[in-house]
Amino acid sequence: MNELETLVAKAKQQFGECTNPADLENAKALYLGKSGEITALLKSLAQLSVEEKKAKGALINQAKQEIESALQSRREHLSNVELNRQLASEALDVTLPGRVRHRGGLHPVSLTLSRIEAIFRSMGFDVAQGPEIETDWFNFTALNTPADHPARSMHDTFYVEGGNLLRTHTSPMQIRYAMDHVQHHQDALKSGQRIPEIRVIAPGRTYRVDSDATHSPMFHQCEGLWLGENISFKDLKVVFTEFCKTFFETEDLKLRFRPSFFPFTEPSAEIDIQFSSGPLAGRWLEVAGSGQVHPQVVKNMGLDPENYIGFAFGMGPDRLTMLRYGVNDLRLFFDGDMRFLHQFN
Ligand code: DAH
């Protein structure tokens, strides 16, 4: 093998060892670059005679072409390898099952809460939110339930550090909302003017140490409060009856106000409803506690019970959801089972 043949063979071998385009271009420079071996040979022609130039030049050019075509075919090979790699890595398996996008939906209790809010808003009620971690004062004392009151035993709950607790009902929102209202109108109050009445509901989560088919340690309540110059039990009956008929979308429904006791109302009543048709027909079902706001509670709000009077109620949105949809176990609401939840959307 002469010198040129050896050079061509060496270039071919080197190109063949390159496994990526960058290496290949570096290898190319060794032969065809500015200071490559072929370039050097071509430069050296300058010293030769015209005859020799012709002969040697032709040979060098042939070697150069061979190297260029070896380079080109290696380039093509490498780019095919890359393409095949890409095709393999991006391949679609058309036999896989399709990806379905499920539509999300609202939880049945959320659906109930929005219904409750919409209905009460339509009757002129504001909707308020409050903290789930409450102080003892808002949850009990301000609601006329001092530390030694027996009613506290029905409200066993979870305490956090510092003596605060997970609220056992939404009733503390009566106090919070009324105190804000009083604060807002304190100038008017001081100068002896009447301040606007309070008409609010406060839905939210509540907590008790309780767990069975109809009790969950976390459950929902919705508080209602209407305080004004002359708001009476009659107004409570009208408002609550109207609410139930709209909520359950039926006129075939009776309400019963059954005397009861709550420390923060006097008199107090449990509200029961009875459907005259459907699967629950004829049964009395308890849906809320209620009563005329106790004078001491009105005082604790910062108002004079001689001038401000009204009613409050606390109902169970979980219970209302069970009645509306015919669900018999409260725990289904909190299990997160899609088969159950899908049915509401
Ligand atoms: N907070 C009471 C409970 O959880 C329910 C209740 C009763 C709320 C009477 C009221 C009310 O506002 O007037 O058992």
Distance of CA 269 to the CA centre of its chain: 37
At 221, list the tokens. 């309540």
Task: Give pLDDT tens digits for 269-305.
Answer: 999 999 999 999 999 999 999 999 999 999 999 999 9
Question: Is the pLDDT assigned to residue 201 strictly greater than 70?
Answer: yes
Nearest CA to ligand 1 atom 13: 290
Quick check: 176 pLDDT over 90? yes
pLDDT tens readout for residues 5-64: 999 999 999 999 999 999 999 999 999 989 889 998 888 888 988 888 898 999 999 999
Instruction: Say how many Å lie between the CA of residue 95 and the centre of ligand 1.
Output: 59
Q: Which atom of ligand 1 is nearest to the CA of 223?
A: 12
Taking a C-beta distance cutoff of 8 angstroms, is the pair 134, 166 a contact? yes
pLDDT at 260: 97
Q: Would you identify the CATH topology of the domain 108-344? A: BirA Bifunctional Protein; domain 2 (3.30.930)
Q: Distance (Å, rounded) from C-alpha 15 to C-alpha 29?
A: 11
Choose which residue among 138, 290, 292, 296 to substitute to test ligand 1 binding: the one with the highest number of ligand atoms within 8 A of its C-beta.
Answer: 290
User: What per-residue confidence (pLDDT) applies to 1?
Assistant: 66
| 144, 157, 264, best to mutate for ligand 1 pocket (most atoms within 8 Å of CB) | 264
H or E stretch including 184? helix 172-184
Residue with tokens 């604060």: 183
Nearest atom in ligand 1 to the alpha carbon of residue 170 is 1
Query: Is the CA virtual torsion 162, 184, 114, 308 positive or negative?
Result: positive
Query: Which atom of ligand 1 approaches the CA of 315 most closely?
Result: 5
Write down the domain spans for the chain: 3-89, 108-344
